[in-house]
């Protein structure tokens, strides 16, 4: 409707938009992987200030096959993945690692 990706409020209070991505090349087993990429926006919402990404959600012999299960996720499922990414990033920061 307004030509933007779906947007979500993260458990960390930040705003995120979501996109999908697929590997450019297959892994040694001939499979492509696909996942979600969450872009974190500034408080003003005018620029991206970071990102989070899921582990691979789908695999396939072609990029389209790998992407299919990711595109089949409901918005509720996508939000659950965002919440898990935010929690994992918060844990990494508290432990002194990179998020």
Neighbours of 9 (CB within 10 A): 11
Q: How sure is the predictor about 1, in pLDDT bands with cuts at 50, 70 and 90?
A: very low
Ordered DSSP codes for 69-80: HHHT--HHHHHH
Q: Encode pLDDT of 28-77 as tens digits.
A: 999 999 999 999 998 888 889 999 999 999 999 999 999 999 999 999 99
Over residues 15-36, mean pLDDT: 96
State the Cα–Cα distance between residues 96 and 99, nearest whole angstrom: 9
């Amino acid at each position: 409707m307004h030509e933007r990706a779906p947007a979500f409020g993260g458990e960390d209070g930040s705003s995120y938009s979501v996109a999908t991505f697929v590997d450019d090349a297959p892994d040694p087993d001939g499979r492509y992987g696909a996942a979600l990429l969450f872009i974190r926006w500034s408080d003003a919402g005018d620029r991206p200030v970071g990102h989070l990404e899921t582990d691979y959600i789908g695999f396939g012999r072609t990029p389209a096959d790998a992407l299919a299960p990711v595109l089949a996720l409901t918005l509720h499922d996508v939000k659950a993945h965002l919440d898990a990414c935010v929690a994992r990033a918060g844990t990494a920061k508290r432990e002194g690692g990179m998020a």
